[in-house]
């Protein structure tokens, strides 16, 4: 598939703004392992080959095992993830696949068991960030590296 455009080349200011959000998320204090699991799962849902290719080696570098990578599409049945990681993946899926009813209160309550309000906000920024990157890479047909 032929790339349509290079986001960074044609819109450098927008690219820099997006990268600023990425930097904020990466330096929020959340574990990079958790962020990479979130980024991979959202990228799977959105079918973004570029982001999957980018974040798979990063996930490995931050401690995600091959078994966890393999089972990530079926994470609800996989018992290798912590309760906080499972809540995060549920949160990421809910924010990625919004319904007319919004995000369930029970899911938010589960997030509160594992994270404070700032961490939940930062995880929400992480979901928004990777969704935006997915959409940019899919729209531009940026091939995996």
The per-residue pLDDT for range 39-64, each reduced to its tens digit, is: 999 999 999 999 999 999 999 999 99
Q: How far apart are the first and last CA of the chain?
A: 13
Evaluate if residue 1 carries a pLDDT over 80: no
Is it the case that residue 9 has pLDDT exceeding 80?
yes
Q: What is the pLDDT of residues 62-111, one digit of tens each?
A: 999 999 999 999 999 988 999 999 999 999 999 999 999 999 999 999 99
**Among candidate residues 87, 79, 89, the one with its CA nearest the CA of residue 107:** 87
pTM score of the predicted model: 0.96
Q: Are 43 and 138 in contact (CB under 8 A)?
A: no
Please say if the pLDDT value at position 133 is more than 90: yes
Tell me the pLDDT band of 136, cut-offs 50, 70 and 90.
Answer: very high
Question: Rounded to an integer, what distance in angstroms lies between the CA atom of residue 42 and that of residue 47?
Answer: 8
**CA atoms within a 13 Å half-sphere pointing along the CA-CB vector of 98:** 7
Going by pLDDT thresholds of 50, 70 and 90, the confidence category of residue 16 is very high
Domain boundaries, the chain: 11-140
Residue 127: closest CA among 46, 61, 9: 46
Look up the CATH number of domain 11-140.
1.20.1290.10
């Amino acid at each position: 598939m032929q790339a349509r455009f290079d986001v960074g080349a044609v819109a450098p200011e927008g690219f820099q703004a997006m990268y600023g959000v990425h930097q904020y998320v990466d330096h929020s204090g959340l574990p990079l392992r958790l962020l990479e699991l979130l980024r991979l799962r959202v990228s799977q849902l959105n079918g973004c080959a570029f982001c999957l290719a980018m974040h798979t080696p990063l996930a490995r570098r931050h401690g995600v095992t091959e078994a966890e990578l393999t089972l990530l599409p079926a994470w609800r049945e996989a018992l290798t993830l912590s309760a906080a990681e499972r809540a995060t993946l549920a949160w990421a899926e809910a924010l990625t696949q919004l319904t007319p009813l919004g995000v369930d209160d029970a899911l938010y309550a589960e997030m509160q068991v594992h994270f404070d309000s700032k961490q939940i906000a930062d995880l929400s920024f992480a979901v928004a960030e990777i969704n935006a990157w997915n959409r940019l890479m899919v729209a531009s047909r940026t091939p995996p590296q």
